[in-house]
Amino acid sequence: MRSDEIKSGYQRAPNRSLLRSLGVTEREMDLPFIGIANAYNTIVPGHVHLRQLAEKVREGIAAAGGVPFEFGTIGICDGIAMGHEGMRSSLPSRENIADSIELMVDAHRFDGLVCIGTCDKIVPGMLMAAARCNIPTVVLTGGAMLSGYHEGKELSLIDVFEGVGKVAAGTMSEAELCELECCAMPGCGSCQGLYTANTMACMTEAMGMSLPGCAAIPAVDAAKLRIARETGEAILPLVNRKITPKKIITKKSLRNAIRVDMALGGSTNTILHLLAIASEAGIALTLDDFNDLAEQVPHICDMQPSGLHSMQTLYRAGGIPAVFRQLGKILDDCPTVSGRTTLRIARDATVRDETVIRSTASPVHEAGGLKVLKGSLAPDGAVVKCAAVPRAMWRHKGPARVYDGEQPAMKAILAREIKEGDVIVIRYEGPRGGPGMPEMLSPTSALVGLGYTKVVLVTDGRFSGGTRGPCIGHVAPEAAVGGPIAFVQDGDQIEVDLFLKKIDLCVDTKTLQKRKKIWKPLHKSLKGALARYAKTVEQANLGAVQT
């Protein structure tokens, strides 16, 4: 066992002495040591209940013949960080989480690992660490929050964000917004729709790194406690059989995750995270893989924010195993941490509601819910959740309204300076220029709340999984490194065509070359973690990983 390096032989007497001070018994010295990386804290709604889940995981590990050791990782709530400078810290936290787990695993020579996390950057960071450390690992995702409720309507956090725009438009009073604020988020768990946190939970299950059914179980359901116990039990067979993450996270399993992503119409952020996980696992995954699979996999679940259904509804309809069943042999047959293969899970699953999880013969849309666009504005790619874009806006050409940062754009939107037909360009918010690719949920929600229907938003930053409408992010190369988005000027025509997967700046090459000669990048004074991040981070089309 790997843990023998800290507990076997007379030379390790000092190490064992420290272990004994923790209460480790003589019998336990001969058992596998299992680390539990827990993102529990009391500032993130998706994490506040993870202490209880960790208790069940510990019980499962001990019952199955292991010795559990729990340690913490950080976790940032993107919703609380949204719309201000704190949002720049969110994506860099993914790398911090991966690093901290790696350091704990390497220092303490665990034989196996259980990762307990929820929310946008935590689960990706844990998966990156799992691939990097490559010791047997199971991931337990914490589950979604129940829907809010007000005056006969189910609510989510997006209703509150969009309410800000409605107040600015004069169609909602501040008192009415306060009522929404108090009703939308009824307790623990990740935000209710298929936003980034829940999409990543689904991706984790789809790639085989969590137990079947885990992703969609609500945070407060007793089934989540039961699967936590089963997760603890499941790590020991993996340790005994030496089944490591790189045997589970393969090119085929990542393609399965992409297929499920397309079928669900998930968050654009999953592209960023799956690329980063692939990088850690040494797998060649590119934006082209996403576009190829988007054409092969229909969109079969009409999920919030653009659709009708919450994660709780997906759970009641059968969860990810039922999605597997509907996709059938579109999926590759891959091993999972449960010991069952993907297609075996699909065969065993039941689709409880085909109006929620449709058949591939009767999809919501014929093609997948995400697209990668390329063109003169984004030579290395940009991403859009096409499932959330009205078909009337799949083709659009309009004048650019350019803003060097989210805050000036938000002020212009709330002041009603934007006109229908405009293409809002928010730049210097990329991996290096932001730094940290802050999400743009505040501007996108404000546009919806104000009633705009024909405005496109383009950024080298990111969009929340809660975003809906014609919002194109991850433009690469970003403005800070001299990508074409840096040279856009007010009034330039920008053309978007989701059918052809194109995004073009309609300015001739000579004019752009002249602009480039006099261009000076926007300078930001940085220190600490963000300064280090900005120096080492790659572009969005490479997963925004640090090198």
Q: What pTM did the predictor assign?
A: 0.95
Q: Where are the alpha helices (DSSP H) in 23-133?
A: 50-64, 78-81, 90-108, 122-133
What digits encode the pLDDT tens for the residues 322-362? Answer: 999 999 999 999 999 999 999 999 999 999 999 999 999 99
Per-residue pLDDT at 158: 85
Catalytic option among 156, 267, 442, 464: 464
HSE-CB for 425 with a 13 A CA cutoff:
29
Q: What is the pLDDT of residue 345?
A: 98
H-assigned helices in 184-329? 196-206, 222-241, 245-248, 251-264, 269-281, 287-296, 311-317, 319-327
Distance CA(315)–CA(298), nearest Å, equals: 20
- The reported pLDDT for the residue numbered 307 is 86
DSSP 435: T
What confidence tens digit (pLDDT) does each residue in 440-485 have?
A: 888 988 898 899 999 999 999 998 777 788 999 999 999 999 999 9
Q: Is position 464 annotated as part of the catalytic site? A: yes
Q: How confident is the model over 514-541, as a mean pLDDT?
A: 94
Predicted pLDDT at 434: 94
Tell me how crowded residue 357 is: count the other CB atoms within 10 A of its CB.
Answer: 27
Q: Tell me the per-residue pLDDT of 386-411, one tens digit each, with 9 for 90 and over.
A: 988 999 999 999 999 999 999 999 99
212 near 276, Cβ under 8 Å? no
Q: What is the DSSP letter of 389?
A: S
Phi-psi region of 11 (alpha: psi -120 to 50; beta: other; left: phi over 0): alpha
**DSSP string for residues in 291-322:** HHHHHHS-B---BTTTSSB-HHHHHHHTHHHH
